[in-house]
Amino acid sequence: MDESLKAHLCDLEEKSKLWHKSLASRFLNEEELAEVKKLFASSCVRYDGGYENARKKKVIFLRDEEDDFSDIVCLKAKIDQRFRKIGHRDILGALMNLQIDRGSFGDFWVEDDTIYLYTSIGMDTFLIDHLTRINQLSIQFEKSDIHPVQEFHYEVQEYVLPSLRYDAIIAKLARCSRQDAHDMISKGLVMIDYVLLEDNSDLCNNNVTISIRGIGRFFFDGIVRETRSGNVVGRFLKSI
């Protein structure tokens, strides 16, 4: 974990206890969250991205176990995509052009004719006033009274596996040789539940997320069946 992030979160935790006040971090990505959850897992800590299963979340240090504090706001903007399509990359580019930190906003997506964007109280006003154009299309954000849930889409893939060792699985998912899979792991290109995989001989468990840089993100749904030759058929859900 980045030492500056660790120090910042420890400082927030200490101030929350000292001041008896709920305090929230910036939005963290999945890799950061995987490391942070090892350090902060008490009943007075909540991880919140504005909706269940959000990919980016804040660490919220609560005043007590009954506290339901959250400073997360959802913004929405209606768009007309008949003549110009807007995608994830366009929205991210517009946000980066505002020169704000990525931790200032959480998940965002386009659903039908609406953009949804999660951010914090305070930053919401700034985005409403300044995020008024995306890919040459004028837009106007406003606060949403509800917190919509992003629907993630997956492609089901099944592979015959000689074993559940990660090198064998990575070779199948990346469509490469076992040696190439070893090289990818040693170069730090593979993460399991957003933590770097270091030992290619480790065995894969059900319900883990496998991220391969340049290839994609896969959720291991488990073994479907065994083959007559003693291999197993594994089912994976690839994010699309």
**pLDDT tens, position by position, 137-185:** 999 999 999 999 999 999 999 999 999 999 999 999 999 999 999 999 9
CA distance 168 to 163: 7
- Look at phi and psi of residue 122 and say left if phi exceeds 0, alpha if psi is from -120 to 50, else beta: left
* Beta-bridge mates of residue 12: none
pLDDT tens for each residue of 68-97: 999 999 999 999 888 788 999 999 999 999
- Closest to 107 (Cα-Cα) out of 121, 97, 122, 92: 92
Q: CA angle 99-25-193, nearest 5°?
A: 95
Determine the pLDDT at residue 28: 97
Determine the pLDDT at residue 45: 94
* Beta-bridge mates of residue 218: 210, 238
- CB of 78 within 8 A of CB of 116? no
Distance of CA 142 to the CA centre of its chain: 24
CB atoms closer than 10 angstroms to residue 154: 14
- The crossing angle, in degrees rounded to 10, of helices 30-39 and 3-19 is 50
- Closest to 45 (Cα-Cα) out of 23, 62, 26, 63: 62
DSSP 60-102: EE-SSTT-----EEEEEEE---SSS---HHHHHHHHHHTT--G
Domains of the chain by range and CATH?
A: 3-61 (no CATH), 72-143 (3.30.70.330), 154-239 (3.10.290.10)
Determine the pLDDT at residue 42: 79
DSSP state of 129: H
Side chain identity, residue 41: A
Residue 192 has pLDDT above 90, yes or no: yes
Q: Could you give the percent of the chain with pLDDT greater than 90?
A: 84
Determine the pLDDT at residue 200: 83
- 201 pLDDT band, cuts 50/70/90, is confident
Mean pLDDT (whole number) for 43-66:
94
- The reported pTM is 0.86
- CB of 148 within 8 A of CB of 49? no
Which residue would you say has higher pLDDT here, 125 or 80?
125
CA distance 182 to 44: 41
Token pair recorded at residue 161: 């596996």
DSSP state of 41: -
